[in-house]
Structure 1
C-alpha cells in the first residue's frame, strides 16, 4: 500500500462507525482509499453471522455503505 491509498486509524474508526450505523457487524480486513473520489474507501469485511467475505464501498461524506461483490479464495482484492 502506498501513501495515496493508505488509511489512518482515525479514518478506519469513522468507516467502522458508518458500517455499524448501517447494521453491519463483522471483521474488517482491509481498508483502501479510493483513487477516484475523495472521502470514498474500499473495505473488505467478513460478516459476523454468515462468515461471507465481501467488498464494500464506504463514503464518509454521505455516510453510505454499498456492497460491491462477494469475495472468495479465487476472487480477492489485491
Structure 2
C-alpha cells in the first residue's frame, strides 16, 4: 500500500496451480492487493494480518488510492 499503482492491470505473475500461498514477508507492513482491477476470474483470500491492513486502508485516507474495481472485488471475496 505504500505506492499502489492500479493504472496497469497487466499480469505480472501467472498462477500455474489452482491455489498458491505467498509468504507475508514479501509485502512487509503494507497492504497488498492481488487481481488488480479484477482482471482475473478467481478469488483472493488474504491472511488475517493482511485483511486487517486492507480494512485499515479502506477506513483511512488510503481508501482513495484503491481502485473502485478492487473495492468491489474485496467485498465479493469477503462474502465467498
Query: What TM-score, normalized by structure 2, do the two folds share?
Result: 0.29
Q: Which has the higher contact order (CA 8 A, sep 6+)?
A: 2
Bigger fraction of residues in helix: 2
